[in-house]
Amino acid sequence: MTSPSPVPSFRIGTEFLREHWQGHRLLTRRMIEAFPADALFGYSLGGMRPFGEMAFELVSMADVGVQGIATGDWNQLAHHGPGPRPATHDAILALWDATTARIDALWPTIPPERFEAVDKAFGQWEGVIYGLLFYWIDNEIHHRGQGYVYLRALGLDPPAFWER
Amino acid sequence: MTSPSPVPSFRIGTEFLREHWQGHRLLTRRMIEAFPADALFGYSLGGMRPFGEMAFELVSMADVGVQGIATGDWNQLAHHGPGPRPATHDAILALWDATTARIDALWPTIPPERFEAVDKAFGQWEGVIYGLLFYWIDNEIHHRGQGYVYLRALGLDPPAFWER
């Protein structure tokens, strides 16, 4: 097998990447559900943010992010603002599910070569698209890992890391 | 641009992936250094493992992992056992740095198409190589995120997530 690229590289299916992202997002959704109502936006450790605030950051990043990948428009959407931040399970889960559907709807419109293009995410972070998406996924795993400690410290069992 | 693959896909440079992995590993190394000596293997929250134990899991997985990717041999190496587990900063950092050098040494020997091959990692988890490596990186981010809560709860500032 020879590569047409000037640098050594390999291929990743766009569907693999969608499933990888959505699998992580499904696990984070389970984490949101696992938090008691008063703890989701009211509990934290070490002066950090409650998990619900982190989850709001994650869903906002994913929602504008998939739009940016698909269209090159990194502006926040009307449906995400300027309303109040969610403060309940129902409100954050409704946002979460809307973004999940949006990712699935926009994904097939993204030409595969778009993932190799350079863009400036959210008007600020320049990089190749797949690298930007990895950063968002990594950021979600990072904060979700923090949520695992919150849940354990509350005496609750988090969902298994490998269940996506 | 047309794709020679039967499914929509895009290319990732093998060097990008090495830098991505090593960048995360460098951040985790900074986290190990940030822990006080008594806390690295003696402090935890919620009944979870101390960060030093997580770090030992991560370095073991990376060390055997890169060997498995490069050679197809997923057996634990002699240099990783049967000695005692590390219990100090110096011991875990020495292992960490040896694995960092091993990844850099073995990486150029991996044919790019190997990342698209299916193998059974550690003799147990079957999947495409790039997906297996993503899992190890994700697992590292997950546990490192937990270490961030430990450090914050100890009143210490962890290194910035985006510094790789």
Please write the tens of the pLDDT for every residue from B97-141. 999 999 999 999 999 999 999 999 998 999 999 999 999 999 999
Q: How far is B137 from chain A (nearest CA, A)?
A: 9
Per-residue pLDDT of A62-103, as tens digits, reads 999 999 999 999 987 655 544 568 899 999 999 999 999 999
- What is the Cα–Cα distance from B148 to B125, expressed in whole angstroms? 28
> Hey, what amino acid is at A44?
S
* A3 shares contact with chain B (CB less than 8 Å): yes
Residue A126 bridge partners (DSSP): A120
Q: Under an 8 A CB cutoff, do A143 and B145 touch?
A: yes
Query: What is the per-residue pLDDT for B24?
Result: 98
Q: What percent of chain B has pLDDT over 90?
A: 85
User: Cβ–Cβ of B141/A145 closer than 8 Å?
Assistant: yes
Alpha helices (H) in chain B, listed in sequence order:
14-34, 37-40, 51-71, 89-106, 129-153
Decide if B152 and A12 are in contact by the 8 Å CB cutoff.
no
pLDDT for A104 equals 98
| pTM score of the predicted model | 0.94
User: Is the ipTM above a cut-off of 0.90?
Assistant: yes
- The verdict on a CB contact (< 8 Å) between B130 and A12 is yes
Q: Nearest Cα to A89, choosing from A148, A32, A159, A149? A: A32
Tens of pLDDT along A16-52? 999 999 999 999 999 999 999 999 999 999 999 999 9
For residues B126 and B146, what is the distance between their CA atoms, to the nearest angstrom? Answer: 27
Q: Does B5 touch chain A (CB under 8 A)?
A: yes
List of domains in chain B: 34-153 (1.20.120.450)
Q: Is A24 on the interface with B (CB under 8 A)?
A: yes
The pLDDT value recorded for residue A82 is 47
Q: Measured between CB atoms, does B94 come within 8 Å of chain A?
A: no
- Going from the C-alpha of B133 to that of each of B6, B110, B130, B139, the distances in angstroms are 23, 13, 5, 10
3-state secondary structure of B125: strand
